[in-house]
Amino acid sequence: MATASTQSRPAIPYALAIAGVLFASVCFGLVPYFSRGLTEQGIAPYAVAFYRYIVAAILLLPVLFKHRQAWSEISWGLSAGAVMGLGWIGYVMALETLPASTVGVLYMTYPVFTLVIAWAFFSDAPTKRALLASGLITVAAIIAGSPASVPLQHIPMLLLSLAAPFGFGFGICVLVHRLSRIPPLARIASVSLGSVLGLLPLMAGADIAELLPAGQSDWVLIVGIGLITALVPQLVYTICSPLIGASQTAVVGSIELPTMFAVGVIAFDEVITMHQAVACALVLGAIAITRSRKTRTVTTVIARKPKK
């Protein structure tokens, strides 16, 4: 009996798994630092998006090749990745002119897009709790993007930034409804490769000056955006999130938004306005509302073992 108990014990302690999800979420929240650092050096937004996904796509390509017989699931993953990669261009472009805190709040509207896409295309009806949370997030987005927070001339850029949460929401739906039968690393690999392939035509037609950084420090930013904000935190999420559950993952993962706020203040000397603070509080409140229910998120779907 003692042997059975030892075998059933998780390989990673619960506290360490919590720390892993916290670490990964902070890494995701650092995206504005690397993104704006690259665009300020003249790197095109689609090139920034490409560099974020290329590292994972290359390193995990052998995993995808190993599971090539699951061509239907892989095709869905490639499609989701292409939509996510192209949508992320809007996020990078918005960071060029808008505060990281504002763009962060808009990015956190992805649960609303997930709910709508899942309901419309996969007949996955939302719960009352999910609808309430989505309503709070929508209010937060309206507050963060109101003329009182953003100059009128920047509203089009703000709307363009919504392409990123739309793409992420679509990716979540595909992960939930189409990719559960392939292993976690194969899911990450297919989505990452899809993002690279979707952005490749833009890269091929661009001027070389928009693609390659001029200084050594810029190459550090490229490596950082690929490893620190994508591959490493994705792998940590994959390992740690199943050990603490979807509910706890959502709560701990909400540190991503305050991290974006901190990046704006510390790295870019931004001032957090009352509207942005209220919007942030509403988003965190929406996450807290759904925390007592085990929901399927992009984290838990990536991490879940394939069905046999």
- Residue 10 included in any domain: no
Are 100 and 270 in contact by the 8 Å Cβ rule? The answer is yes
pLDDT band at 239, cuts 50/70/90? confident
Tell whether the model's pLDDT for residue 51 goes beyond 60.
yes
Tell whether the model's pLDDT for residue 126 goes beyond 50.
yes
- Residue 242 included in any domain: yes
Residues 18 and 26: their CA atoms lie apart, in Å, by: 12
Mean pLDDT (whole number) for 44-69: 94
pTM of the model: 0.85
Write down the pLDDT at residue 64: 93
- Residue 248 included in any domain: yes
For residue 11, give the DSSP letter: S
10 phi and psi angles, rounded to 5 deg: -60, 145
C-alpha closest to that of 84 among 181, 197, 212: 197
- Alpha helices by DSSP H, listed for the chain, are 2-8, 14-29, 31-39, 45-59, 61-66, 71-97, 100-107, 110-122, 128-144, 155-161, 163-177, 184-204, 216-226, 232-253, 256-268, 274-289, 298-303
- Residue 45 included in any domain: yes
3-state class (DSSP) for residue 170: helix
Mean pLDDT of the chain: 86
Residues 56 and 189: their CA atoms lie apart, in Å, by: 7
Write down the pLDDT at residue 308: 43
Question: Which residue segment(s) compose the domain that 182 sits in?
Answer: 16-303
Range picked from 3-12, 146-155, 163-172 for highest mean pLDDT: 163-172
Tokens of 53: 């996904």
Mean pLDDT (whole number) for 9-17: 78
Look-up: residue for tokens 């390659």?
212
- Residue 11 included in any domain: no
- Label residues 14-28 b or e (16+ Cβ within 10 Å = b): eeebbebbbbbbbbb
183 phi and psi angles, rounded to 5 deg: -60, 160
Q: How many CB atoms lie within 10 A of CB 194?
A: 26
Residue 298 has, within 13 A of its CA and on its CB side, a CA count of 24
Write down the pLDDT at residue 10: 54
Write down the pLDDT at residue 248: 80
21-25, 33-37, 207-211, 250-254: which has the minimum mean pLDDT? 250-254
Mean pLDDT (whole number) for 123-135: 88
Tokens of 106: 């808009």
- Residue 42 included in any domain: yes
Residues 183 and 259: their CA atoms lie apart, in Å, by: 30
pLDDT band at 168, cuts 50/70/90? very high
Q: Which residue has better confidence, 100 or 9? A: 100
- Give the total number of structural domains in the chain: 1
11-25, 182-196, 238-252, 269-283: which has the minimum mean pLDDT? 238-252
pLDDT band at 7, cuts 50/70/90? very low
Tell whether the model's pLDDT for residue 296 goes beyond 70.
no
Write down the pLDDT at residue 268: 94
